[in-house]
Structure 1
Amino acid sequence: MDKLTNTGNTCILVTGSNGFLGQKLVDKLTFEGGYTVVATSKGPNRNPNKEGYTFVQGDLNEEGLLSSLLAMYTPTHIIHTAAMTSVEACEKNRELCEATNVTLVKRLASCCLENNIHLTFLSTDFVFDGKAGPYREEDTPNPCNNYGQSKLAAEQAIWASGCQAAILRTILVYGHIQDPSRSNFVSWVREKLSSAQTITVVKDQWRMPTWVDDLADACIIAASKKAKGTYHISGDTLMSILEIALEVAAYWELDKRYIKPIAADEIGQGENRPRKTGFIIRKATDELGFRPTPLALSFRAIEKQLA
């Protein structure tokens, strides 16, 4: 995929920079060099890489922080990864979910329109109910939980604002970053099996897992092209979550007997999570040049990153 054109006056603001994708984005952007990168997150900077960018700690939900960031750094692009993503937390604290996932996005989109800033926004397969996957971008959303509903409301707010934006929906992001505190499904399975711990894994939910490096590259190309529209970004192989765990065990030669299958209903996920999502990614392939890395090749790359 193409990379962001370094014009000398290009400034990218990455929100949620302590997150899994946020850290990967900061690392990729600073490695390429040639433009200003500003990273912001609610807590202190957790990225072991501290060079080549400016970090600003602060809660974007607080009045004034967003405006001051825009005034001080005048970003030309914003990649908004900050979000409340736990399904259970979004159900339990609906007010905070609304503030973080919807109200903040409305303000962000309005600021982008006013200041001619291109917005890249991260959304989710959970905007769908999982009854008819894999999905195209034009398929009708129907979230089955409050998290998915909040992300759908944010998408709608972005388009209502009239700002120039690319919405990237993604699925079950995995991979490796330097910060050991940020886990994901693949690293969790590998670590538990490596220490001979038994894990229970859902056998009747299907996803297309997405390598974080691929997703970060897609964010960068969407910004580069100042893309406008909704794009589905994921792997291209539909697998059960159990099958993903078994692939991890097979690649790293770990004992799969420690993986215990379980039905979604048995752990209270039968109704509040989509059964089968998956994306048809042709639009992203045609318009963004997106090419997902096969699972085994991504595992090989992760192994090198770990080394």
Structure 2
Amino acid sequence: MKILITGSNGLLGQKLVQQLAGKGDIIATARGENRLPLSDGYRYRSLDITDPEAVNAVIIEETPDAIIHTAAMTNVDQCETDKEECWKLNVHATEYLVKAAEKTGSYFLHVSTDFIFDGKEGPYAEDAEPNPISFYGWSKFAAEKVVQSSSLNWSIARTVLVYGIAHDMSRSNIILWVKGSLEAGKTIKVVNDQWRTPTLAEDLAAGCILMVEKKAQGIYNISGKDLLNPYQMAVMTADYFGLDKNLIQEVNGTQFTQTARRPPKTGFILDKPIKDLGYSPRSFTEGIGILASQLK
């Protein structure tokens, strides 16, 4: 199978390439130079997905069997302050990719987010009614609508709080932040009133690959299985690494000023992907262990 991946320099993109390399004709695309450590089992093409002519040219030339669209602007506060750039990357780029994919008949998998929900009634099933409360959430909801209104064979993988280790350590996550802070003897404040089902990047990649292999249709929740708040995640991280939990202060969200609003309680119900796809996510503790092994 020929599979084209957008955003291959990102965390999910890297994990997808690692899991798919050598299993078909895999085309990794991202803006600028290739930052992947792998050199075999895939091809890399530089692609600016906000350039409609470039998108059309690459998709038509490659004519992939499937496209996995992971590229997006995901910094929630940055999306709130730079709405134009957010819409360009999250919505217009999706429009360009969908339009090109309609010409080639490619199966299209779009990666979305729990932030399309207001967080009043989580955890959510796939048929829950979206109601975004941030511009990032609105942009991702709009992108979903672009995909759903297309003539493509499409699917949407919604996910939650993705964590993992990029090969160049280019982004942190709650586990690395807690571990680093506690090892340095720093006291940290961690909120207890935001609930998520944190998702190991390797699990999200595996779920997306299952969707492509089975040509799954429609919306699937692909996240972790444990409903936790950040304070619980921090304590579990401290326990795993044998660090001082007394340095973790439990606070609520009013202690922090953030540009964009966050949904208080999201998280996903996973009955559909488990039944339809055989999706099997790791626990948060298992995820910490996988990260720990990658740090060695």
Bin of the TM-score, shorter chain as denominator length:
over 0.9
Give 3-state SS (helix, strand or coil) of 1:207's partner. coil
Matched, 1:262 2:243: no
Alignment deviations for residues 115-164 of structure 1 (CA, whole Å, 9 cap, x no partner) = 11011111000000000111111111000100001100111111111211
Matched, 1:306 2:281: no
CA distance in 2, matches of 1:61, 1:271: 24
The match for 1:130 is 119
CA distance in 1, matches of 2:188, 2:67: 38
The match for 2:158 is 169
Q: Give me the TM-score of the superposition, normalised by structure 2.
A: 0.95
The match for 1:48 is 37
CA distance in 2, matches of 1:233, 1:111: 26
Matched, 1:36 2:25: yes
2:138 counterpart (129, 149, 164): 149
> 4+ runs of 1 displaced by more than 6 Å?
none
Give 3-state SS (helix, strand or coil) of 1:64's partner. helix
Aligned pairs for 1:241-256 (under 5 A) are 241-256=230-245
The match for 1:20 is 11
The match for 1:92 is 81
Matched, 1:292 2:281: yes
Q: Give me the TM-score of the superposition, normalised by structure 1.
A: 0.91
Give 3-state SS (helix, strand or coil) of 2:17's partner. helix
User: Does structure 1 conserve the Cα–Cα contact (< 8 Å) formed by 2:159 and 2:222?
Assistant: yes
The match for 1:73 is 62
Percent identical among aligned pairs is: 42
Matched, 1:205 2:206: no
Alignment deviations for residues 214-260 of structure 1 (CA, whole Å, 9 cap, x no partner) = 10000101111111110111112211111111111110111223323
User: Does structure 2 conserve the Cα–Cα contact (< 8 Å) formed by 1:113 and 1:164?
Assistant: no
- Write the letter of the residue equivalent to 2:18: D
Aligned pairs for 1:160-199 (under 5 A) are 160-199=149-188
User: Does structure 2 conserve the Cα–Cα contact (< 8 Å) formed by 1:106 and 1:161?
Assistant: no
The match for 1:117 is 106
User: Does structure 1 conserve the Cα–Cα contact (< 8 Å) formed by 2:49 and 2:97?
Assistant: no
Structure 1 unaligned regions, length at least 5: 1-9
Aligned pair in 2 of structure 1 residues 270, 139: CA closer, same or farther (>3 Å)?
farther
Q: CA RMSD in A?
A: 1.6
1:221 counterpart (207, 210, 231): 210
Residue range with higher mean Cα deviation, 183-192 or 73-82? 183-192
- Write the letter of the residue equivalent to 1:40: T
Give 3-state SS (helix, strand or coil) of 1:22's partner. helix
Structure 2 unaligned regions, length at least 5: none
User: Does structure 1 conserve the Cα–Cα contact (< 8 Å) formed by 2:80 and 2:260?
Assistant: no
User: Does structure 2 conserve the Cα–Cα contact (< 8 Å) formed by 1:170 and 1:232?
Assistant: yes
CA distance in 2, matches of 1:299, 1:84: 26
User: Does structure 1 conserve the Cα–Cα contact (< 8 Å) formed by 2:56 and 2:96?
Assistant: no
Alignment deviations for residues 11-52 of structure 1 (CA, whole Å, 9 cap, x no partner) = 11111111111111111111xx23111111113222222332
Give 3-state SS (helix, strand or coil) of 1:40's partner. strand
Aligned pair in 2 of structure 1 residues 274, 87: CA closer, same or farther (>3 Å)?
same
CA distance in 2, matches of 1:198, 1:55: 43
Residues paired across the two proteins, number: 296
- Write the letter of the residue equivalent to 1:172: L
CA distance in 1, matches of 2:223, 2:140: 17
Give 3-state SS (helix, strand or coil) of 1:293's partner. coil
